[in-house]
Chains A and B, each alone.
Chain A
């Protein structure tokens, strides 16, 4: 399977715990995006990497959120001290190094904070 993969698909955690999500993009894609989607809404941009450089972070990404993409390969999104408002689907997408290309999405990681 050469698509975008995300792990875990589902995570249930208690408020205050830390969680980490992993995304493996399509191998030849330089660009990697994280989006968050809540029920009934469209995906909202969180952050973007070109190779290993994090080029933009949304205001939605508070200090409790951190994302990395070491060596320009896989990426991780960590949420510290989770809150109930963090419950959402976290989507990863990748694209080739073009300004206007389509995004290839993973199946998402659904987070439930109790």
Chain B
């Protein structure tokens, strides 16, 4: 079973717009990570946020974490065609070591 659920399942935006996707999870976590996957390829790590952090930035990425609501959001600002991909949140539950992934959000950036 998968720990996280992303919302929306799919997102289509114009180049230059911002993309926001959300992730909800079920159990207490050590950290939450976001990954990107281009079609037919492996996953690439984007950003990790620890359970005691509330917000983190990396380039055009902004991640928030609300442990009281068991939710996270990923914001991609000023999107580019190259951002077209599937985005997955993954959690490391407390007292565990393996990542559990959600079903992902498919983002399409139109030129």
Spell out A's residues near B (CB within 8 Å).
4, 31, 33, 35, 40-45, 48, 56, 91, 93, 99-100, 102-108, 110
Partner of B88, one of A42, A56, A99: A42
Selected A-B contacts with CB under 8 Å, 24 pairs: A31-B97, A35-B101, A40-B103, A41-B103, A41-B104, A42-B4, A42-B88, A42-B90, A42-B102, A43-B88, A43-B101, A44-B2, A44-B101, A45-B99, A45-B100, A56-B98, A91-B42, A91-B43, A99-B30, A99-B92, A100-B48, A100-B92, A108-B40, A110-B40
What are the 3 A-B residue pairs with the smallest beta carbon separation, nearest first? A42-B101, A105-B42, A102-B45
B-side contacts of A99, CB under 8 Å: 30, 92, 97
B-side contacts of A102, CB under 8 Å: 33, 45, 48
> Are B43 and A48 in contact (CB-based, < 8 A)?
no
Total A-B Cβ pairs within 8 A: 57
Cα distance A45–B100 when bound, in Å?
7
> Are B98 and A100 in contact (CB-based, < 8 A)?
no
Minimum C-beta distance from B40 to chain A (A): 8
Cα distance A103–B103 when bound, in Å?
17
Task: Tell which of B4, B42, B97, B102 has the most Cβ of chain A within 10 Å.
Answer: B42
**Hey, what's the 0/1 contact readout for B25-66 against A, CB within 8 Å counting as 1?**
000001101010000111111001010000000000000000
